[in-house]
Structure 1
């Protein structure tokens, strides 16, 4: 079940604080129900983003898991983990720590691999190899 309404029951009732903290840099927020919790994917104007998932630890201070994402297209699922970045691709911390990491990611320079125009294809290799790409892509 997917929805786009940022209700207060997401992220331990702190979703409004996310918007206050990061509103200037957010392009899109997507909520997706995963087995036990609701995952939130945040897309920033610079082409990077974060996936946030609350982890139930049974303690007073809940922990969040954050994945740093690099978007390569216009859709919410057009992303990969942002490896080799200034912030590790997988992080765990309390709400304040994760919001600080999200703020840092939102301030990174523009993602040069981002292609927001759906009709434009990546440049083809003219060397006659049929445009073969590295197997990592």
Structure 2
């Protein structure tokens, strides 16, 4: 099972004299949130990391921008899943079924005044279903 430092609202979480750690399902949930919210191209070691969702800020809200947001979220999650699969093939002992993104069940979007809201439902390899909400202000 792999682990990551716990992050809440962009900050590391202290637990006493140590930093909080996430693993399993919680790690997957945190990873997906970070991948979708991180700016595309900011990590030179992982060129497919991040999204271009911040490019929609200041744009107009329309059905085409709603479709673009949905497509971008699917692209990011597919990239995450591809990278995770590659790492799984290299070192399968480092992963548990709870942290493996098995299926992107749905990505639904809706328009609210100045934002596009996205709700992502996914399933892990252990069969647990997760939910990720993303708000893109435009």
Give me the TM-score of the superposition, normalised by structure 1: 0.28
RCO higher in structure (CA 8 A, sep ≥6): 2
Q: Which structure features the higher share of helix residues?
A: 2
Based on CA coordinates, which of the two structures has the bigger radius of gyration? 1
Give me the TM-score of the superposition, normalised by structure 2: 0.28
